[in-house]
Amino acid sequence: MRKETDFLVIGSGIAGLSFALRVAQYGRVLIITKSNEDESNTKYAQGGIAAVFNENDSIEKHVADTLDCGDGMCDTEVVELVVREGINRVNDIIKWGTEFDKSKEGTYDLAKEGGHSEHRVLHYKDLTGYQIETKLLQQIEKHPQIEILTHHFAIDLITQHHLGKLVKRSTENIECYGVYAYDIKNHTVDTILSKITLMASGGAGCVYQNTTNPIIATGDGIAMAYRAKAKIRDMEFIQFHPTALYNPGQVPAFLISEAVRGFGAILKTASGKEFMHDYDERGSLAPRDIVARAIDNELKKSGEEFVHLDCRHLKKDEFVKHFPTIHQKCLSIGIDPFEQCIPVVPAAHYVCGGIVTNKHAETSIRNLFASGECASTGLHGANRLASNSLLEALVFSHRASIFAIESVKNIKFKNNIPDWDASGTRQAEEMVLITFAKLELQSLMSNYVGIVRSDIRLQRAFDRLKILYDEHEQLYHRTIVSVQLCELRNLINVAYLIVKNAMERKTNKGLHYSIDN
């Protein structure tokens, strides 16, 4: 199939959907997603969205908290514009139908999470992301200019590098003309041409064994952009959420929201000792990098497999009202949070680096924009402040839409784009080659490139990644495309970027911590 659209959106989370709604009246919009339309990292965001809706709060405080959490690596101008503009963008999704919990007095019931100096997290129970995703999709489905293609896997961006062998693979003046997308149900590769493309493909948590991300989070957008010669940065800053439910065998790991600690839950060792004040005066509500490293250290000292999150002193009725999903999940595996502590461990959660963008969400590739977790806007620096990610996605998708609407008028489709060339490929001889390579990759990343790193571990990871890369590239070029084949290719690319950036970072900053620095 060959298809043309004015605006192409890769991904169906908050970044992609909000952009689509803003540009739809200015042209045809096509959203492609490799799974169901509602499957995204947004859907699993429990905590909420941070914004200044509290009379005791201020833009200055939110900015200061973000900068402090980012450990000196945030772009201050970006932080200020996101916090300032974010208030209006939250009001936009409220107008689109999103509901947030309110107090008996009718004001927003704002939560407090790690690194925040005030209560400023808007939430809908512990299903905030699901609420936002559902309401945005309802608006999308009503719009006649928007089409969603589910179960379409974006393989590679189409640039001038695909126009012929004589085109030099330069990193300068690259243009994006669309994507090659694998139709999973029909087993064909479609050529989708677009005037404007927004990469909103989400994160890459599945590069690690234990992650809170859904199984679709394989770094596809970052890897595609990297292969197309876009600028990528700060991939060493992988945020591990400190409190994923310890429940071996569950994939993805179930998240115990940071809002639970904001509600008053306390981290303790197996012996019942509170330990976070030994690491930070903010205790269990210190920023995530500090809490995750503290838990990692305690587990290494004790030899235990998890630490304890104590909720037994909290008011049961209020807890169940605020966290019904978490409460039910704990009960389902035989844990009553008011009789026993919840076992928790850190799990890979969020990529703070990604595709470099400017303040209009433009990447270094012309007509390619990026928003959401796959983008590196300058907001998060070396560590993301809790609940800033949904806010960032709304602000940058809005900014991208303004620029894209103006740009699209002057762009024409490229007519000489070749179709996907599958000559010389055949069905995978042994799927075990892909399956075990993925397990090997996740194991080496978890053991060598985790919360705490060292020079020797990083070098070992780098050396083994080179072998995996060489083996997989040979397999990729002789094999008919499949989701598993392409996802492994992307995970290897992303793992390489994480390791390479970590080896280059010679000082400990935020989420990157090496015992040799």
- The pLDDT mean for the chain works out to 94
Six token digits for residue 380:
């998060």
- For tokens 């005791």, name the residue: 56
Geometric angle at alpha carbon 32, from 28 and 37, rounded to 5°: 110
User: Per-residue pLDDT for 168 more than 60?
Assistant: no
233 in catalytic set: no
Mean pLDDT of all residues in 340-362: 97
Confidence band of 170 (pLDDT split at 50, 70, 90): low
- Quote the CA–CA distance of 364 and 225 in Å, as a whole number: 10
Other beta carbons within 10 Å of 264 = 16
CA 4 to chain CA mean position, Å: 28
User: Per-residue pLDDT for 171 more than 80?
Assistant: no
Closest CA to 221 of 259, 176, 251, 282: 176
| 495 backbone dihedrals φ, ψ, rounded to 5° | -60, -40
Mean pLDDT of all residues in 169-180: 84
Residue 59: per-residue pLDDT? 98
Q: Whole-prediction pTM value?
A: 0.95
Residue 67: per-residue pLDDT? 98
Other beta carbons within 10 Å of 278 = 11
In b/e form, how buried is each residue of 41-76, taking b as 16+ CB within 10 angstroms? bbbbbbbbbbbbbbeebeeebbbebbbbbbbebbbe
CB 148 within 8 A of CB 31: yes
Closest CA to 77 of 463, 344, 381, 338: 381
| 40 backbone dihedrals φ, ψ, rounded to 5° | -160, 170
Q: Which residues lie closer than 8 Å to 165 by C-beta, 6 or more apart?
A: none
Provide the pairing of β-strand 49-50 with 152-159. unpaired
The per-residue pLDDT for range 239-254, each reduced to its tens digit, is 999 999 999 989 899 9
- For tokens 């330069």, name the residue: 170
| 419 backbone dihedrals φ, ψ, rounded to 5° | -75, 170
CA 295 to chain CA mean position, Å: 22
- Quote the CA–CA distance of 275 and 268 in Å, as a whole number: 6
Residue 90 amino acid letter: V
The per-residue pLDDT for range 490-506, each reduced to its tens digit, is 999 999 999 999 999 99
- Quote the CA–CA distance of 348 and 326 in Å, as a whole number: 19
The per-residue pLDDT for range 286-307, each reduced to its tens digit, is 999 999 999 999 999 999 999 9
- Quote the CA–CA distance of 153 and 11 in Å, as a whole number: 10
The per-residue pLDDT for range 418-477, each reduced to its tens digit, is 999 888 888 877 889 999 999 999 999 999 999 999 999 999 999 999 999 999 999 999
- Quote the CA–CA distance of 206 and 251 in Å, as a whole number: 10
Q: Which of 22, 120, 261, 288 is catalytic?
A: 288
Residue 463 amino acid letter: D
User: Per-residue pLDDT for 366 more than 70?
Assistant: yes
Mean pLDDT of all residues in 314-340: 95
Report the sign of the C-alpha dihedral through residues 83, 360, 139, 30, in that order. Answer: negative
Mean pLDDT of all residues in 190-207: 97
| 160 backbone dihedrals φ, ψ, rounded to 5° | -65, -15
Geometric angle at alpha carbon 21, from 20 and 23, rounded to 5°: 65
Closest CA to 255 of 346, 178, 334, 176: 346
Largest CA distance in the chain: 69
The per-residue pLDDT for range 12-56, each reduced to its tens digit, is 999 999 999 999 999 999 999 998 877 777 767 777 999 999 999
**Region label for 123, one of left (φ > 0), alpha (ψ between -120 and 50) or beta (otherwise):** beta
Residue 415: per-residue pLDDT? 84
- For tokens 């992301």, name the residue: 129
In b/e form, how buried is each residue of 88-99, taking b as 16+ CB within 10 angstroms? ebbeebeebebe
Residue 169: per-residue pLDDT? 55
> Domains, the chain, ranges and CATH?
2-236+352-410 (3.50.50.60), 247-346 (3.90.700.10), 432-480+482-504 (1.20.58.100)
**Region label for 387, one of left (φ > 0), alpha (ψ between -120 and 50) or beta (otherwise):** left
**Region label for 276, one of left (φ > 0), alpha (ψ between -120 and 50) or beta (otherwise):** alpha
- For tokens 């605020």, name the residue: 322
User: Per-residue pLDDT for 165 more than 50?
Assistant: no
> What are the residues facing 29 on neighbouring strands?
7, 146
Six token digits for residue 162:
């695909």
Residue 283 amino acid letter: G
CB 43 within 8 A of CB 130: yes
- Quote the CA–CA distance of 454 and 508 in Å, as a whole number: 11
User: Per-residue pLDDT for 203 more than 60?
Assistant: yes
Confidence band of 166 (pLDDT split at 50, 70, 90): very low
> What are the residues facing 180 on neighbouring strands?
156, 191
